[in-house]
Amino acid sequence: MSQKAYITTPIYYVNDVPHIGHAYTTIIADTMARYYRLKGYETFFLTGTDEHGQKIEEAAKSRGKTPQAYADEISGKFRALWDEFEISYDKFIRTTDAEHKAGVQKAFQVMFDKGDIYKGEYEGHYCVSCETFFTDTQLVDEDKCPDCGKLTRLVKEESYFFKLSKYQEDLIKWYNSDEKCVLPKGKKNEVISFVKQGLRDLSITRTSFDWGVKLPSSMNDDKHVMYVWLDALLNYTTALGYGGDEKNMEFWPATMHLVGKDILRFHAIYWPAFLMSLGLALPKHVAAHGWWTRNGEKMSKSKGNVVNPKEVADAYGLENFRYFMLREVPFGQDGDFSQKALMDRINSDLGNELGNLLNRIIGMSGKYSNGVVNSKDVNTFHESELDAVEEILKNVENNLLELQTNRYLEELWKVLSIANQAITVHEPWVKIKEGKVEQALALVALVSNILARVSVLLHPIMPKTTTTIAKALGFEINTASYDKLVVRKTLLEEFTIEKVPPLFPRIEEPLMEQSAPVVEAIPTKTGKKEPKVESIITIEQFFETSLKIGTIVEANILEGSDRLLKLSVDLGEGILRQIVAGIREYYTPEALVNTQVCVVANLKPATIKGLLSEGMLLAAKDKEGLCLIRPENPRKNGASIG
């Protein structure tokens, strides 16, 4: 019987369209599914959408739609994006699927018959946004939700309860018996601390709205619908057929449940308790990742800084985006998205170290052996490099199994560094001149083999890129080549290298429109509104701006404009900068010549009224007018500010 792997994303709530956090979770899950398939595992990869609950019912009503029509629309956007991103899911589940509802109703009946569900009355605070109940002591000021900060609603209604408290000690035993059942370790400790404070029985039905899964008909209690988290969590079993034909239940238990840190409590406490009640095996790993910010700032629609994953992939390439997401941040920690960081990864990691290595192999093999590469002398001349590669790779896959994708990629890039360094040290071009052809060709073969092994291991993250590299090196990436190159460490047979275009063209300028700072008026204690600048930058971001002292050598009125002056500014560069400035209302050309100003020197050139402007003057402006910012005492042209 073949080994099996079951990988899941959370099912995404259809209250909004996909964002970068959804993409991050899904790309990690896709990477793990591709990895297990590469190793020869029979793999089932699940994703989908969560479509029930009061929040969806109210969102649909506010848009003049039925809940089903609204859910169809948003769910369709998720599925369309994952298809465009070539996410290799085996099933896309929706909680509005008839098969899912039947499975949830069966599970409810099983838990009720076992005595784990009882009827009572619930009174407490409910957050519609988080679909979560809270006690008085858990709330923050003015009855606000401790998770999202929104006002809760006081709810008093008849409810069925799940005996969560019954499973408190069993949960603790599970955490203690399996070191990696919850990843990363810090998140697991948070879960254990929460459980040890004491678990209360969980309200699992509602009567105040109708958009949800009804109770089993045998209960004769149609006014109740199931609490959205009971309904949603059971998708991981109903997707495999629980409550129906159960044809895929052989994949249970889940190898990996991937979730965001905000829903870890539901997946690491409620979910295993439900499974214990149902008599089903617990998942092998529940893994929680962090959130993404943009340029150090929390994303929000009001700030206009939400990252659209499709926009990034369209601009920079999907596989480059996948690499960046998995390399940039340690799993479990919050990550920051910026175009500069993405460009650096593409130009440095991918372009200089990976793409350039393939280009060098193509160039050298073409010159030295008409593109023919043979590994027969690699062991003779390069045993030390092969040993160094083995030392790095012997434990590298453990990083991936624990979802430390950044560490996994760092280790693979160390291997690429061995290959690049070998070319520098052994100088095959010199050996060709000295007549040491065998040694030169052995070096080319060494680098080819290193690149081949890295390509196989990189394949789950960048499948198309690595397929291109493998084709150039005369092999296919599949389970057989994984076994040959990674497991058995066999070298490539003789092949003729195939030329391919550069994989990672250098990116010089941002390819997406930069988000502008947002100024928001906020109430003061007096009730008046004052502007609050919401865009915060780091000291590193500040120092990316080049501010310099310059002297205005020439100033002229720009014909056809009553606002602009054309300036020639000396920044000590040996040539004059042309800067078009909107200061004519406040300064005459004569008053500016031979005076010093402060210039933003590394601003992207712009065309203004048909003229190239190569910088910007710093100025202050208020109701009194505009005033240029100048050095207190004369300074050398080009002197830095800051």
Query: By three-state DSSP, how is residue 337 classified?
Result: strand
- Is residue 557 within 8 Å of residue 534, measured between CB atoms? no
- Alpha helices per DSSP H over 487-554: 539-542
Q: Report the distance separating Cα 16 and Cα 363, nearest Å.
A: 49
Give the Cβ contact number of residue 164 at 10 Å.
21
Handedness of CA 282, 283, 285, 287 (dihedral sign): negative
Q: Report the distance separating Cα 269 and Cα 171, nearest Å.
A: 7
Is 148 annotated as contributing to ligand binding?
yes
DSSP state of 165: G
How far is CA 484 from its chain centroid? 32
424, 430, 521 from 363: Cα distances, Å = 15, 15, 60
**Residues ≥6 apart with Cβ < 8 Å to 324:** 341, 342, 345, 346
Q: Report the distance separating Cα 134 and Cα 232, nearest Å.
A: 19
- Is residue 593 within 8 Å of residue 569, measured between CB atoms? no
**Cα–Cα–Cα angle for 397, 401, 405, rounded to 5 degrees:** 75
Name the nearest CA neighbour of 330 among 243, 220, 423, 408.
408
Q: Report the distance separating Cα 575 and Cα 352, nearest Å.
A: 32
> What does the longest C-alpha to C-alpha distance in the chain come to?
93
Give the Cβ contact number of residue 81 at 10 Å.
19
Residue 496: what are its φ and ψ, rounded to 5°?
-105, 120
Q: Report the distance separating Cα 451 and Cα 487, nearest Å.
A: 16
DSSP state of 217: G
How far is CA 336 from its chain centroid? 9
**Residues ≥6 apart with Cβ < 8 Å to 631:** 549, 596, 598
List residues bridging with 5 in a β-sheet: 43
Handedness of CA 555, 557, 558, 559 (dihedral sign): negative
List residues bridging with 625 in a β-sheet: 622
Name the nearest CA neighbour of 39 among 6, 90, 3.
3
**Cα–Cα–Cα angle for 197, 200, 202, rounded to 5 degrees:** 140
Q: What is the dihedral of CA 33, 37, 43, 49, to 10 degrees?
A: 30
List residues bridging with 522 in a β-sheet: 530
Query: Residue written as tokens 């149902």?
Result: 278
Is 627 annotated as contributing to ligand binding?
no
Provide the b/e sequence for 502-538 (b: ≥16 CB within 10 Å). ebbeebeeeeeeebeeeeeeeeeeeeeeeeeebeeee
Pairing verdict, β 205-206 and 117-127: unpaired
DSSP state of 623: T
Q: Which tokens hold the place of 59? A: 């969102």
**Residues ≥6 apart with Cβ < 8 Å to 404:** 330, 331
Output the known binding site: 127, 130, 145, 148
Output the known binding site for Zn(2+): 127, 130, 145, 148
